[in-house]
Amino acid sequence: MAEEGDSKPQKTDSFAALRYKDFRSYIGMRFCFTLAYQMQTVVLGFYIYQLTHSKMALAYIGLSEAIPAVGIALYGGYIADKYEKRKMLLILFAGVFLSSLVIFIATLRSMAPHLSITMILVIIYAMIFCNGLARAFYGPATFTIYAQSIPKSLYPNGSTWSSSSWQIASIVGPLMGGFIYGFAGHIIPGLAGITATMGLTLFFMLISLVLVYMLRSYPPVFVKKEDIWISLRAGLQFVFTNKIMFYAMSLDLFSVFFGGVVALLPVYALDILKVGSEGLGIMRMASSFGAALTMIIMIRFSPMNKPWRNLLIAVAGFGLCIIGFGLSTIFYVSLVFLFLQGAFDSVSVIIRGTLMQLLTPDHMRGRVSAVNSMFIGSSNEIGDFESGVAARLLGTIPAVLFGGTMTMLIVGLTFLKTKKLIPLSLSEIHPPEVEVKTEV
């Protein structure tokens, strides 16, 4: 169980989860890693599109990460349930650091002057594939650490802080990446934007590695010999027989798969809105800024009073904003729609994350998180591939409008399937348990 602070946190305390030392380390680790990941993602997409001017090249970025992340996600969950999590994260973060270092060297032409554009692309896609392998284990491990770092009564508060830190990093990361990419050469003559940004990415990844080292040990909750296939099947069966969890994951999967526009933002930045790498960073920031601001508000005003009703409203709002963004050809109007898209998405993230934590038994957290990664964690990358293919076949703007329309259709179908869940409160969905706290 979680370590307790000097005094028992009160339920009305907005900072209750932060009073636990390991949760603070977890938040710091997640913030620095997300900051580095977002910087790397935004500049690699822009860099690849500058090299190729190909929408399919953007689609391959998402596919390169999604294939390994989905392919071994269940195994990653199995490992997370059976082994110590801190050691897992140290290995994973070291691996991600090395893959980013390889990209840094490949894009530093003075160190690799004989590499062709094709070879640079192959190296980048290969390292993104390696990051996808790491993600298959990262999600289940961090899901378990979060669950054991604070009491269950603080999961809603902790989920808000965790999601807020992720969103704030998602604001700062793209903005920093875009501006450093655009202005590095002006600050230090001869310094390429991709080189400067990847160097800073490595710095923040190193900080996150140190913060992982500061965590306490997280051994498996239950150590029991069990056939791997029986174990994996048990995780899948639990998710697919839990109606709320299954529909929540499905709703997020298909809305992000069709409604994501992130992969096409470099096209908007260069060809439609013509705002360059700086504008791309601002667009990536706008969505995350809307999400972070909304999450800060939700620290005080929880959306969990009628969670399923609020979840459907949030995803519907997300779909409408995608359609609005697709129709806009004015930069500032597009920013407004991206801001609102992030705001609605943040409500969905908080509700779904809280329900998952409450409904998942401790001994299955790794496997359930792995199924979640297959449904949601990789839906962004698979959605990026779908967006790139759709843009190639339909054109950029029609592809975005198609995605927003499909999201609205999915919300409508989910509403018809889950009418009985709409009026339920959180206590009706998950009756409160009497917690027995033990000190470690």
pLDDT score, position 210: 92
What tens digit of pLDDT does each residue of 380-413 get? 666 677 777 787 888 888 888 888 888 899 889 9
The candidate with the shortest Cα–Cα distance to 260, out of 325, 322, 328, 169, is 322
Predicted pLDDT of residue 230: 67
* Residue-level pLDDT at 386: 72
Q: Where does residue 416 rank: exposed (0-12), middle (13-18), buried (19+ CB within 10 A)?
A: exposed
Give alpha helix (H) positions in 328-432. 331-359, 365-372, 379-394, 396-417, 426-429
Q: Quick one: which of 162, 419, 429, 416 has its CA closest to 305? A: 429
Stretches where the chain sits below pLDDT 70 are: 1-13, 109-113, 185-191, 221-232, 234-235, 259-260, 362-383, 426-440
Q: What is the pLDDT of residue 2?
A: 45
User: Which residue in 156, 352, 102 sits closest to 247, CA to CA?
Assistant: 352
Q: How far is CA 163 from CA 36, 156, 160, 345, in A?
A: 16, 11, 5, 11
* CATH fold of 17-429: Growth Hormone; Chain: A; (1.20.1250)
Joined together, the tokens standing for residue 226 give 């069990």
Cα separation, 364 vs 123, whole angstroms: 36
What's the CA gap between 96 and 257, in Å, rounded?
A: 25
User: What does the CA dihedral 328, 332, 336, 341 come to, rounded to 10 degrees?
Assistant: 60
Composition of the chain by helix, strand, coil, percent to 5: 80, 0, 20
The model scores a pTM over 0.75: no
Q: What is the pLDDT of residue 6?
A: 44
Distance of alpha carbon 334 from alpha carbon 314, whole angstroms: 19
For residue 396, the model assigns a pLDDT of 83
Q: Is 35:169 a contact under the CB 8 Å cutoff?
A: yes
